[in-house]
């Protein structure tokens, strides 16, 4: 719906998933002069392995991403608040 952006960053030294609300005005995450149309980003994941390729589910209720947090790369899903992280079963 264009109101938020989910992305990865390694600003903590590990690749993690972040969420930025694009509907509020606040400081720019990437720096630069002037303000931006995004509030401070929220770090949604904090795992030992890198988290990659976040994307919204088709209905916009969950975020899916790839991670090696359990020792091998797998697809995970979580709420937009970074809660209820669980592996997606692949038959």
Q: Convert the pLDDT of each residue in 50-82 to its tens digit.
A: 999 999 999 999 999 999 988 889 999 999 999
* Pairwise CA distance, residues 78 & 64, whole Å: 7
How far from 66 is each of 27, 35, 43, 53, 76, CA to CA, in Å? 29, 32, 16, 6, 6
- Residue 88: count other Cβ atoms within 10 Å of its Cβ: 11
Which value, to the nearest 10 degrees, does the dihedral of the CA atoms of residues 91, 87, 10, 82 take? 140
State the pTM of this model.
0.79
pLDDT confidence of residue 49: 86
pLDDT tens, residue by residue, 1-56: 788 999 999 998 999 999 999 988 655 444 444 455 447 899 999 998 899 999 99
């Amino acid at each position: 719906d264009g109101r938020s952006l989910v992305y990865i960053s390694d600003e903590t030294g590990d690749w993690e998933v972040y969420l930025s609300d694009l509907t509020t005005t606040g400081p720019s995450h990437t720096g630069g002069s002037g303000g931006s149309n995004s509030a401070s980003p929220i770090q949604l994941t904090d795992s030992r392995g890198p988290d990659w390729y976040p994307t919204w589910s088709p209905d916009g209720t969950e975020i899916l991403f790839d991670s090696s947090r359990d020792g091998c790369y797998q697809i995970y899903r979580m709420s937009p608040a970074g809660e209820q992280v669980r592996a997606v079963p692949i038959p």
